[in-house]
Structure 1
Amino acid sequence: MKILTCPAQLQRLEGILRKSLPLALPVFGAVLNINRGNPGQCEVLVDKWPEFGAVLARPSGEVASGDMGHCRRGVTRCSGTFQVCSEHPMDVPRCRHPLTPASPRPAPGMRLGSLNPSHVDLLNDTWPYGGNARSRRYLAEILGRFPQVCLQDSSGQPVAWVLTDHFGTGTHSYTLPEHRRHGHMQVALTVAAQRAHARGFPTFG
């Protein structure tokens, strides 16, 4: 496998993967993050360049496991790594219906804000995979590195939020139980999608 480090190659890969959506979506998000400052410290590998048939995104410095020579067409995810394989160099038709969401407004008494490090325990307590030291470290990392949206009440307390991860995907979205059924998550998801779209990330539903 070849690690792509050349900015021109990474930009070209982004364009190729964009044409291969939605199959390439998991790796595409990582490449977008790499090309926009690489906040997650990821790297991308291909089986060959430029006529690649497999592309892998992973945290920098990890050692690949498994035999890419026997990769089957499709998407595989394991332990923080995404891999996309194709029988031919990324020849999947592009999805023709990306979302272009309207702009719902926050309910009265609510405002858009941001989460901060003091909210990590709340995130860890409300995440289905949370509740332990490892998940807390992970949530603190993505909170500090990647875009997020938070709806706050009039006192500035989080009510609903959306976090994104290394691969440009939503990883933790939550509305506090006492604030549900008021459209708060719709607002948070729409704002997150609009901001992602403005940064060049695709939005699908």
Structure 2
Amino acid sequence: MPTEVDIQEQALVAKVVAGDRRAFTRLVEPLIPKLLTTSTRMLGIREEAEDAVQNALASAWLARARFDPSRPVLPLLTTITLNKCRDKLRRRKAARFLGFGTSPEPDFSPDPAPSPESETVDRQILSRTQLEIERLPLRLREALILVAIEGHSQREAGEMMGVSEKAVESLVYRARKTLKEKISLG
């Protein structure tokens, strides 16, 4: 049975499909922090993540006629955002290959620790973990971020990634195994 939130979202989606820009803003504004978190985790650089989300929302607006009011919007926007992240990662890889500039190093500062020593260790572990996550093959990274970090179910992640639930389970397992091996060797 649809909740009040579902009914409100469905009404907003219907208005968005009809071309109502204010309804689009009301629909996506509460979702932007989640999209930005996913994008930042995929790209590692806040500015690039913001660009990816902005591009995703622009694409969503242009494709609004294909929105389905009976389906939740967050998975759709997450899928579009992931696609924009993939595009940015491909461009970044091509730019590095061709020798065009260097991308800034991501800043992954952990929360302050109780002592300078533990803060240093925490920073090293976090930095190493983030580096290894970035080095994962794209599909492994996406599955890991969506399930283990963002908290989506394997079914939801599969829908967003366009793969089966079982494939997501396998991808997350392989990502975790790879991370464990890489981090324990470091």
Same fold flag (TM > 0.5): no
Give the TM-score normalised by the residue count of structure 2: 0.28
Higher helix residue share? 2
Give the TM-score normalised by the residue count of structure 1: 0.26
